[in-house]
Amino acid sequence: MWVGLGIAEIGRTVGGLIRQGSPLPVVLSALCQLFDATAKGFSSSVLLLDRTGARVRSAAGSSLPASYIKQLEGRRVSWSETPSGATINAKKPVIVLDPVSVPLRKDQEAAPATAPGLRLHEASPILSLTGEPLGIFAVYRRESNPDVIHCPSALIPKFTQVASAAIERMRSDEALRRSAALLERTQQLSSTCCFSWHVETDEISWSKELCQLFELDPSDVPVTLELIGARIHSEDLASFREMIERARSGVSDFEFEHRLRLPDNSVKYLRIVAHGTRNQEGHLEYIGAVQDVTHRRHTEEALARLRAELAQAARVTSLGVLTAAIAHEVSQPLAGIVTNASTCRRMLAIDPPDVEGARETTRRTIRDAERASEVIKRLRALFCKKGATSESLDLNEVTREVVALSVSELERNKVIVRTELAGELPPVQGDRVQLQQVILNLFLNASDAMSGVDDRPRQLLIRTERDEEDRVRLSVRDTGVGFEPQGVDRLFDAFYTTKSSGMGIGLSVSRSIIESHKGRLWATPNEGPGATFSFSIPCGPQEAMAGATGARSLGAIRMSAVTNAEERHGRSL
């Protein structure tokens, strides 16, 4: 009756269970049940091995005592001592010819291998298609059935084959479920969704999360480019279409950032990264990820606003320090104006009027008024609150303007100002007011550091020069109190100050301004007394300022064209 039992029939028994999603032990128990029913006088069990193949992970059997099954779980498979171990080692069935003389670990009472009334008859390895041990199919003879001594050996390979298929299927299902769960969790964690786009047919497959992100009804299938386009922010639509066209022309990878305008008028920022591949038919297909970067964008914008406010606070602080200097700068020409005008009036009042003298004093009056308005113009530029702008600048000119504005304040503090500005300095790209703010901060810091110095000249050396790698450098060297080497890291902390007055945010804001110019600001102690503060920024056009301005690079597309690589390759052939 068992002789006719084929693999197809055995497979059908367990196949239904697998399709129903039954757990593996249930499937394997059903397999054992079929074997036990087929081979009278014999019982079977399936021992599942862990991934190392060294330990029994779980066991299943239908007519074996549950207590016996239970004690097998977690046991080590001894490679040499036991038939189970031997069968794995040899990767072929081990038939126990004399069960009495080779009982399973009979010599170790503490570890009974079999249940009472059972003799291990044969143990066969269950191997994967690649030959990896998955488990052991063990057949026991029931001693209560002494007549039956011949096991239907031909049946065993069929069962191990089906068991192998079942275990592999279950394992791959599990791996798939795990990876799907992992992917879902990863997508949740990184606010990322994925999609694929078949360029030829415009077939788009979207994850459930992507539908949620776009606030599309998942039943709105198929998702089309038109459907997506309807959600794109109108200002980004043109660049989105451009990206689609370029992707169609066969670039290998692309990155894109754009906004969504949702039905409730809210705006989301998305970042798309896609990788192009050719499928088996040679058709172009993109697989990509979409990340919701709205939160990050808002944070960046808030940060840029905060930075602008902080810079403004620093300006106001400097303004306080500079009030005296401003008063001085404006009062000087005003004094000239008043004096000249008074003289003029007197010259015209005498008889005969001194017309020539009056003309001369009027000329001076006008000149002094122009000088006063120059000062006001410079101050207005320095202290108005506005976002960063980027223009081509001559660092020497920028420096000279700050020197002109602050020299009287510095001289009032008995500071001797010397400038060494390099000739032929290449232009830099940046924000004039922000850079002047930094330079002014450095001047005021240097002046403060020298305020208590009386035993040596208070010298301030301002130098500009070309730095390596197409950069320009400005350094401000003083002969002040300097700083402790261990304090250098803290110099640039916001609110760190060695001064008793002032907010101490000058240097940290200065550094953030210089960094937004893709530059670097640092301090070094002098060999003699004092310290030197320097910054270096790249010359020529650059992509800086994003952080400072909060400017968005939306609609920016970065693509690496396959065609270019092919061209290069083609030329070299």
Partner 1 sequence: MTVKRPLVAVVDDDESVRESLPDLLRELGYSARAFSSAEEFLASDCIGETRCLILDIAMPGMTGPDLQQELTVRGQEIPIIFITAQADETVHLRSLEQGTVACLLKPFSDTALFEALNTAFRVS
Is the peptide bond between 485 and the residue preceding it cis, with omega within 30 degrees of 0? no
Q: Are 535 and 468 in contact (CB under 8 A)?
A: no
Smallest separation (angstroms) from partner 1 to the CB of 366:
12
Q: Which is nearer to partner 1, 335 or 551 (CB)?
A: 335
Smallest separation (angstroms) from partner 1 to the CB of 347:
7
Which letter, b or e, does each residue of 394-433 get, where b requires 16 or more Cβ atoms within 10 Å of its Cβ? bbbebbebbbebbbebbeeeebebeeebeeebeebbbbbb
What is the C-alpha to C-alpha distance for residues 105 and 382, in angstroms, rounded to an integer? 91
| 335 near partner 1 (CB under 8 A) | yes
Q: Which is nearer to partner 1, 347 or 453 (CB)?
A: 347
| 378 near partner 1 (CB under 8 A) | no
Question: Interface residues for partner 1 in 493-552 (CB under 8 A)?
Answer: none
Q: Following CA atoms 373, 379, 380, 386 in sequence, which dihedral angle do they give, to the nearest 10 degrees?
A: 160
- Across the beta sheet with 133-142, the strand order is 56-61, 42-49, 133-142, 118-127, 94-95
What is the C-alpha to C-alpha distance for residues 368 and 379, in angstroms, rounded to an integer? 17
Backbone angles phi, psi at 556, to 5 degrees: -75, 135
Smallest separation (angstroms) from partner 1 to the CB of 462:
17
List the one residue from 339, 419, 498, 524 that touches partner 1 (CB under 8 A). 339
Smallest separation (angstroms) from partner 1 to the CB of 401:
20
Question: Interface residues for partner 1 in 394-413 (CB under 8 A)?
Answer: 408, 411-412
What is the C-alpha to C-alpha distance for residues 440 and 255, in angstroms, rounded to an integer? 41
Strand partners, 530: none
Q: Which is nearer to partner 1, 37 or 338 (CB)?
A: 338
C-alpha 388, offset from chain centre: 26
What is the C-alpha to C-alpha distance for residues 536 and 428, in angstroms, rounded to an integer? 10
Q: Which is nearer to partner 1, 157 or 457 (CB)?
A: 457
Q: Which is nearer to partner 1, 407 or 557 (CB)?
A: 407
| 64 near partner 1 (CB under 8 A) | no
| 346 near partner 1 (CB under 8 A) | yes
Contact characters 314-333, partner 1, x per CB under 8 A: ----------x--xxx-xxx
List the one residue from 32, 270, 347, 402 that touches partner 1 (CB under 8 A). 347
Question: Interface residues for partner 1 in 348-367 (CB under 8 A)?
Answer: 357, 361, 364, 367
The structure tokens listed for 161 are 């084959």
One DSSP character per residue, 148-168 reads -----TTHHHHHHHHHHHHHH
Q: Which is nearer to partner 1, 241 or 412 (CB)?
A: 412
Q: Are 343 and 363 in contact (CB under 8 A)?
A: no
Q: Which is nearer to partner 1, 386 or 412 (CB)?
A: 412
Query: How many chain residues are in contact with partner 1, going by CB under 8 A?
Result: 29
List the one residue from 41, 336, 430, 506 that touches partner 1 (CB under 8 A). 336
Q: Which is nearer to partner 1, 255 or 411 (CB)?
A: 411
Q: Which residues contact 550 (CB under 8 A, 6 or more apart)?
A: 300, 301, 303, 304, 305, 387
List the one residue from 90, 338, 355, 376 that touches partner 1 (CB under 8 A). 338
List the one residue from 151, 211, 227, 334 that touches partner 1 (CB under 8 A). 334
Q: What DSSP designation does 130 have?
A: T
| 337 near partner 1 (CB under 8 A) | yes
Q: Which is nearer to partner 1, 292 or 329 (CB)?
A: 329
Q: Which is nearer to partner 1, 374 or 470 (CB)?
A: 374
Q: Which residues bind partner 1 (CB under 8 A)?
A: 324, 327-329, 331-340, 342-343, 346-347, 357, 361, 364, 367-368, 371, 408, 411-412, 414, 416
